[in-house]
Structure 1
Amino acid sequence: MKKFYGLTGTKLNIAIAVIAGTDFALFGYDQGVMGGLLTLGSFLKHFPEIDTANPPAGTTASYTSTIQGITVGAYTLGCFFGAVATIWLGNMLGRKRTIFVGSSIMVVGAILQCSSFGLPQLIVGRWITGFGNGMNTSTVPTWQAETSKSHRRGQMVMIEGSLIVFGVMLSYWIDLGFSFLEPSTISWRFPIAFQIILALFILALIPGLPESPRWLVLKNREEDALQVLCALSDLPPEDKKIQSEFQAVKDTVLEMQKGGFRDCFKMNRNRNFHRTALAYVNQMFQQISGINIITYYAATIFEQNIGLSPFLSRLLAACNGTEYWMASWIAIFTIEKFGRRTLMIFGAAGMSASMCVLAGTTSKVSDSMGIAAAVFLFVFNSFFAIGWLGMTWLYPAEITPLSIRAPANAISTTANWIFNFMVVMVTPPAFANIGYQTYIIFAVINAFMVPCVYFFFPETAYRSLEEMDEIFHKTTNPFDVVKVAKQMPHRYDKHGELLISYEETEEAQLYAERRRSSVVAAETRGASLGVANVEKKDAVEHRE
């Protein structure tokens, strides 16, 4: 078989995006599939402990809502531990092998889930599936970012974000379609088992795709790295653009190759802690926005909070997922045009307003209020899809330096999953105890996100990963990084054409000066050693 399946240039980038996108579709599918089953009769017959509408004898709705939160949240808790494991495994295994191992674990977890006859097995299966997904979601954005061109990177990762929602949408429609097979257990076993197909697709095709060139240089496999860069750009090794990119990658890697987990917390020249904190907060913001109130519990909200029939609730949840997916395409075509900051601010402001309306429309029960609430569940998803859906898989990978990119992205992904778990866990008890006021909490949180992004998050659009290093080298405190990013000239234009050769930048000159200093120092040590040896020889001869 030809290397990289015989693909080069755009075709190879598309192939990488397809595998990365399939992984994110699998991620979205896992998030959405349980939501449509929580009100299904045959599912609740096997797992009555999580039936919040009709709690088992001797239990309360508050107790069953907590058990439901634990069951649904076991997946996100597994994702958290998978992301933590990647802190150490990421650089050890490499990007491709980490994804392969994670996908294999997901297959095992899915088999356990779809064969469950008791709640403990279901919870364990969801935890194992989550562990594999945590490894994947910590790694795929990094792999994608490190094999993409700066002018296409945002768009490629936003396609992944769209495919997360495609997975959510697919899970809703499969849940709805198989609900007609009630009371057969196939109505819920097949939707859970379907994720195995997506995982097997990833396992079959990822071995033949290229490893990250930056990870290859990190492991002293420079020829392999150069080969990958050439294949990704469909250019020969001697091309000026390839040589410039390769030298920039090599200089950065050689400078940073000693970085590790502890280095994520150092405030050194690269401002590692500053950048890790931005990545962490970015992931945290996505989850505390309240999106998973809807992703996991859409059908439950339509049925139990708005008062719709079980079938209409599942149908609206599927339509909600479809509109959510359609809205996600807006970000694909605007992420590079408007930049990361603008979309994040726009999304957070819109989500805050939507949550305010949801609080008002669910505070009283009426047909008109119910319709308005249903509409704004759609509106909230749209703002999230545009501003935050794919952003937290793109931005942390862009903002962190190579030496700590794997552990820093794993750390930031732990934020995604631990706050995801928190939201999923508290949502059922919150609705049971404070009702519509739950939305007010999330309205305030989203409003707070707006000034945070404006003052602290620098723009990364049209910047190479090495340019971001240079921006932070010039930063003196968390408040001036946005200004530095605005003022520093771009090395590449909006079409990926080279504007400033790497050799002409201050960064390259600094590295060159360091190399010269190292050579001079080595020569000086060698000369001193030579003089010392001569003097020692003369002394011996004199004594003789």
Structure 2
Amino acid sequence: MPFPPSRVDDPSARKPTISKKHEIVIFSSTAIALYGYDQGMMSMINTNRSYLRTMGIAESSPVVGIIVSIYYLGCAVGAVVASIWADRKGRKPSISACLVTGMVGNILMFIAGLSPSGSDPWGGAAMAFMMAGRVILGLGVGGIDAVIPVYSSELSKDGARGRALAQEFQMNIFGLLMAFSINLGVTVALGKDNQWAWRIPIVVMQAFPILLISIINKLPETPRWFISKERKQDARKALVDLHGEVKAEDMLDELHRAHQEESEENISYIDMLWPSGGQFHPTMLTVMCQVNQALTGYGAVSVYGPQIFELLGFGVRDAEYVTLGNYISYFLMMTLAWMTIDVLGRRKLMVWGSVGLASCFALLTLFGGLSVDVSHVSILAVEILGSVTLFIATAIFGICWLATVWLIPTEIYPTGARAQGSSVSVILWGLCNFAITLLTPIMFNNLKYWLFLVFAATNAFAGWWTWQYSPETGGRSFEENQEFFVSAQTDESWAVRNVDGGKFLNMPRKDTVDAEGGKGSRAETTPLLASPTET
């Protein structure tokens, strides 16, 4: 029991040892870890010989990439369904439905081709179960990825939204690291010809949704959603649960006023996707954020990590060990992400991140060429230099690109469109990663180390587009960020330097924020997860 019974004569003992604020952060972080776990899980399953025999495919077959990538199509559909459900029925019911869906998909993957002998008595049915499981798992995880950032951001204060989400995405990398470690451990112990070396990592994934479902009922629905459905008493109860009676009434009135101001405009997907719609500009920013993140190439590095290191000259097992080291570094370096995202801002991190990634991939092209085409060069030297460069590139991606593109959509839409905006983000994430993970094995087989040069070029484009068109959304209230799009329409330009005199090129100065208190209503700048000592 998380909160054991206390003695009647000891009122202080009745207080839970974990605050509601920390319960929400732990819950959201664990949910985000689901996505990372799948990436780490599939990276070694793809090379398991028992798995390939069960599916009836060769390691170099493009079907390997199709099985991986079809998951992302499920994610795209799941994001739409979950966001609609989140707006109609609530953030929590939507998350619960996604968790159950993910469990069903995971079970289908686990039992695909299952037999005592490890041979494949299922014929083509094994492939059908695996594909269906991948799609259904994607429906659940895609929905979680759409709703969790909304749930988290609606319960975070403006000055710490980036920190909160970056901490959650550090858990995403923990999920990736956990999956790969389990995968590597059972592969070393059982070998690549044993069916349990790939089934065990799949079924372990069930621990995440089981844990999350067991604690979700203890967490609050967001007061903003209750207000949007005119359930004022439920919103008050949630606020009292979070902050106590004294603060709840003031915060409730402020949230209600903010909702009345926003409710005059009914926002639909047409408003977001049609060029004349009021939310078209922020939607295009959301779309390009995900496109540019995909162009960094790190969807391929996460899913096909061992194969990437093999391009630098490592043997199969050495490549797997070095990949594990890269993921450990990745997880640790994510600490810098949540330390810097609310200090340096989203825009600066992404631009300089693209510069760093383009440089690293250009170097990796050189090292790959030396490893494959130049016989008198020391392979050990190339392996060391290439590994250091790829470790640095992975750290740069984690610090600069992983969390930022998920945070921006939660900061640029009004409350009525925030879940829809996040769903658009997940849809594009799913489609882009579907393309990347589908094409990467083909590019491995045809381009070899020249694949790195492709990623260098795509990173250069991502950095240029971000510098040109992506505003700085950090340190501002939701309403202040929406002012950028109003000004862009008035100034007839989407280029950030031309909008409102370049005001959104950088984070707002602290003295300006303190003096003005934010131009939006206090309801959107009040820290819903503030501790009792904060005001």
Is TM-score (shorter-chain normalized) higher than 0.5?
A: yes
The match for 1:46 among 54, 76, 90 is 54
Alignment correspondent of 1:98: 94
Given candidates 205, 221, 230, the residue that maps to 1:220 is: 230
Please tell me the root mean square deviation across aligned C-alpha atoms, in Å. Answer: 3.2
Tell me the equivalent position of 1:281.
288
Q: Secondary structure at the match of 1:338?
A: coil
What letter is aligned with 1:290?
G
Map of 1:427 onto structure 2: 440
- State the match for 1:356 in structure 2: 362
How do residues 170-249 of structure 1 correspond to structure 2 at under 5 angstroms? 170-179=178-187, 180-182=189-191, 183-233=193-243, 236-237=246-247, 242=251, 245-247=254-256, 249=258
- Which residue in the other structure is 2:494 paired with? 479
For the 8 Å contact 1:227–1:237, the answer to whether it is kept is: no
Identity percentage of aligned residues? 28
- 1:10–1:192 distance in 2 versus 1, CA, 3 Å: closer
Query: Separation in 2 of the partners of 1:210 and 1:128?
Result: 27
Q: Residue type matched to 1:98 in 2?
A: S
Mapped partners of 1:470, 1:210: distance in 2: 30
Match of 1:530 in 2: none
Contact 2:239 2:252 in 1 (8 A): no
| Aligned residue among 276, 292, 306 for 2:299 | 292
Q: 2:228 and 2:194 mapped to 1: Cα distance? A: 53
Q: Note if 1:161 corresponds to 2:174.
A: no
| Alignment TM-score, normalising by the size of structure 1 | 0.82
1:310-389 matches, within 5 Å, as 310-364=316-370, 365=372, 367=379, 368-389=381-402
Secondary structure of 1:287's aligned partner: helix
1 CA distance for matches of 2:27 and 2:131? 28
Contact 2:86–2:419 (Cα < 8 Å) also in 1: yes
Which residue, out of 227, 234, 259, partners 1:250?
A: 259
Using the alignment, how far apart are the partners of 2:70 and 2:253 within structure 1? Answer: 47
Say if 1:244 and 1:443 are closer, same or farther in 2 by CA, change over 3 A. farther
For the structure 1 residues 245 and 47, does the alpha-carbon distance in structure 2 shift closer, same or farther, using more than 3 Å as the test? same
C-alpha change, 1:380 and 1:480, in structure 2 (3 Å) is closer
Identify if the C-alpha distance between structure 1 residues 67 and 261 changes in structure 2 by more than 3 Å, giving closer, same or farther. same
Aligned counterpart, 1:261: 269
Deviation at 1:369, TM superposition (A): 2.6
Task: Quote the offset at 1:395 in angstroms.
Answer: 1.0
Q: 1:356 to 1:230 in 2, by over 3 A?
A: farther
Q: Distance in 1 between matches of 2:389 and 2:85?
A: 42
Contact 1:9-1:234 within 8 A present in 2 as well: no
**How far apart, CA to CA, are the structure 2 residues paired with 1:228 and 1:487?**
36
- Give the drift of 1:323: 0.7
Name structure 2 gaps, 5 residues minimum.
6-13, 114-125, 523-535
Tell me the CA shift for residue 232 of structure 1. 4.1
- How far the C-alpha of 1:81 sits from its partner, in A, is 1.8
Deviation at 1:77, TM superposition (A): 1.8
Give CA deviations for 1:410-446 in whole Å, capped at 9, x if unaligned: 1121111100010000011112112222222221111
1:49 aligns to what SS in structure 2? Answer: coil
Distance 1:285 1:248, change over 3 A: farther
Q: Which residue of 2 aligns with 1:145?
A: 153
C-alpha displacement at 1:234, in angstroms?
A: 5.1
Determine helix, strand or coil for the equivalent of 1:336. Answer: coil
Structure 1: runs of 5+ lacking an equivalent: 53-63, 509-544
Structure 1 partner of 2:477: 464
Letter in 1 for 2:78: G
Number of matched pairs: 488
Q: Does 1:83 align with 2:83?
A: no
CA distance in 2, matches of 1:395, 1:232: 26
Q: Give the counterpart letter for 1:349 in structure 2.
A: V
TM-superposed deviation, 1:231 = 4.4
Give the distance between the partners of 1:273 and 1:336, measured in 2 at CA: 26
* Matched ranges for 1:295-306 at <5 A: 295-303=302-310, 305-306=311-312
Residue pairs, 1:386-397, within 5 angstroms: 386-397=399-410
Alpha-carbon shift at residue 14 of structure 1 (Å): 1.9
CA distance in 2, matches of 1:42, 1:75: 21
Q: SS of 2:462's equivalent?
A: helix
CA distance in 2, matches of 1:492, 1:435: 45
| CA–CA separation in structure 1 for the residues paired with 2:135 and 2:256 | 43
Pair 178,237 (structure 1): closer, same or farther in 2 beyond 3 Å: same
Could you tell me how far 1:8 is from its partner in structure 2? 9.8
CA deviations on 1:386-406 (whole Å, 9 max, x unpaired) are 111111221111112222222
Shift of 1:487: 4.1
Q: 2:529 — aligned with what?
A: none
How much does 1:47 deviate?
3.1
Q: Is the contact between residue 71 and residue 138 of structure 2 (CA under 8 Å) also seen in structure 1?
A: yes
Q: Structure 1 pair 26/222, CA: closer, same or farther in 2 (3 Å)?
A: same
Partner of 1:56: none
Amino acid at match of 1:415: L
Task: Give 1:371 deviation, angstroms.
Answer: 3.1
Superposed CA deviations along residues 305-362 of structure 1, whole A, max 9, x for unmatched, are: 2343332222111111111111111011111111111111121111111111111111
1:136 to 127, 131, 144: 144
1:211-245 Cα shifts (integer Å, max 9, x gaps): 122222211112323443454455724776x3674
Give the Cα separation in 2 of the matches to 1:454 and 1:42: 47
Deviates more, 1:467-476 or 1:134-143: 467-476
**Whole-angstrom distance in 2 between the partners of 1:7 and 1:136:** 30
Q: Does the residue aligned with 1:211 lie in a helix, a strand or coil?
A: coil
Q: Rg: which structure is higher?
A: 1
Give the Å deviation of 1:378.
Answer: 1.4
Find the residue that maps to 1:308 and give its secondary structure. coil
What displacement does 1:25 show? 0.7
Q: In the aligned structure 2, how far is the partner of 1:68 from the partner of 1:485?
A: 50
The reply to whether residue 412 of structure 1 matches residue 425 of structure 2 is yes
Does residue 308 (structure 1) correspond to residue 314 (structure 2)? The answer is yes
Partner residue of 2:121? none
Cα displacement (A) at 1:363: 2.0
Shift of 1:408: 2.0
Displacement of 1:466: 2.9
8 Å contact from structure 1 (residues 73, 425) kept in 2: yes
Residue type of the alignment partner of 2:284: A
Question: CA–CA distance in 1 between the matches of 2:240 and 2:473?
Answer: 24
Do the aligned partners of residues 2 and 173 (structure 1) sit closer, same or farther apart at CA in structure 2, a change above 3 Å counting? Answer: closer
| Structure 2 CA distance for aligned equivalents of residues 7 and 277 of structure 1 | 46
What residue number does 1:33 align with?
41
Amino acid across the alignment from 1:293: A
Asked if the contact 1:271/1:472 (under 8 Å) is kept, the reply is: no
Worse-superposed segment, 425-434 or 6-15: 6-15
Residue 181 of structure 1 and its aligned partner are, at CA, apart by 2.0
Query: Contact 2:473–2:507 (CA<8 Å) still a contact in 1?
Result: no
